[in-house]
Structure 1
């Protein structure tokens, strides 16, 4: 997966600047990002502080890991069931 060139603290500072009244097009131009990226961050991280944002990212990573584990176990289960059905 592609990593972001924007750190969590930078994202939070950009959102704080927007809350302080800096125009969105100026922020986007200054930081080299699109307005769509800004509004995506605002919808995802708006109202959070840095610790909450870090926790959210940890939970998303754990959720992805658990989904992969479930898919692997489901695949193993399907293979075993197919082998048992063919044997009898």
Structure 2
């Protein structure tokens, strides 16, 4: 699976910038991403803090590992 160019911390920071009032096209141009990527992140990471995102990633990794067994 392809790794993201952005970490969870960076994604959450970008989403907080949007909540602070920046428009989506401006954010996408600033960070070099597409609108679809932004909205995908918003559905996945919207409302999360950095610590919660790390827990989510750990649970997903564990789930993947258990499915392989």
Q: Same fold (TM over 0.5)?
A: yes
Q: Which residue of 1 aligns with 2:51?
A: 51
Query: Which whole-Å CA distance do the structure 2 matches of 1:14 and 1:38 have between them?
Result: 9
Number of residue pairs aligned between Structure 1 and Structure 2: 69
Query: Which whole-Å CA distance do the structure 2 matches of 1:44 and 1:7 have between them?
Result: 13
Q: Which residue of 2 aligns with 1:60?
A: 60
Give the ranges of 4+ consecutive aligned residues of structure 1 lying more than 4 Å apart after TM superposition. Answer: none
Larger radius of gyration: 1
Query: Which whole-Å CA distance do the structure 2 matches of 1:26 and 1:20 have between them?
Result: 13
Q: Which runs of 5+ in 1 are unaligned?
A: 70-88
RMSD between aligned alpha carbons?
0.6
Q: Which runs of 5+ in 2 are unaligned?
A: none
**Bigger relative contact order, structure 1 or 2 (CA pairs below 8 A, ≥6 apart):** 2
The normalised TM-score by structure 1 is: 0.76
